[in-house]
Structure 1
Amino acid sequence: MSNKTRRAFTLALCVGLLALQASPAMAQFTGAGAQATNWFVQLLTPIVPLAVAIVGILCLTGRVNWGWFAGGVLGTALFFGRDQVVQLFRGWLGA
């Protein structure tokens, strides 16, 4: 991967992570947590399958490491299944 491509990919990753972090933080301060989270999930729902497909193609062509693909899929599953994951941990801890 060229240095320019790596820089663009890193920038896109940082912007995406910042957006994920900013949404809950802004929702907490505005008091509209559930509405902002639902809006963000609705926004990402049609985009995520396309992003996974694009990164999968990049992995198949050797431009991106398969570790990035696995991390992205795992992160996506945790993001969209966060309520179930929290309930699972609460069940394990007896809370």
Structure 2
Amino acid sequence: MKEHYQVDPYLLQIRTRVKGFIEGQGKIGLIFEETIFSPTTDGNPSDRGTLVCETLRATYEVLLVEQRPEGIVHWIAGTPKPTIGASVLMTLDRDR
């Protein structure tokens, strides 16, 4: 996964594709080919923002981003979840 937040912390928006997902306890976590969201680390909160999936005409709020064995997981609010391979526009909440 390309982690843009490590290279360009001022990048606020990118288009990427869904690589995978995990579900558990009523939540959906998405894994992408690349990300601008920094995960929770060393007590620092993760970035937040929105995801827009044009295929589903849906917008999702990113509630939490965490590093897991599966990769960087973006936990979202909302359903239905985007399908693997779907194009998603990531937008970082710059005020946070």
On whether the aligned pair clears a TM of 0.5, the verdict is no
Structure of larger gyration radius: 1
TM-score, normalised relative to structure 1: 0.24
TM-score, normalised relative to structure 2: 0.24
Structure with greater strand share of residues: 2
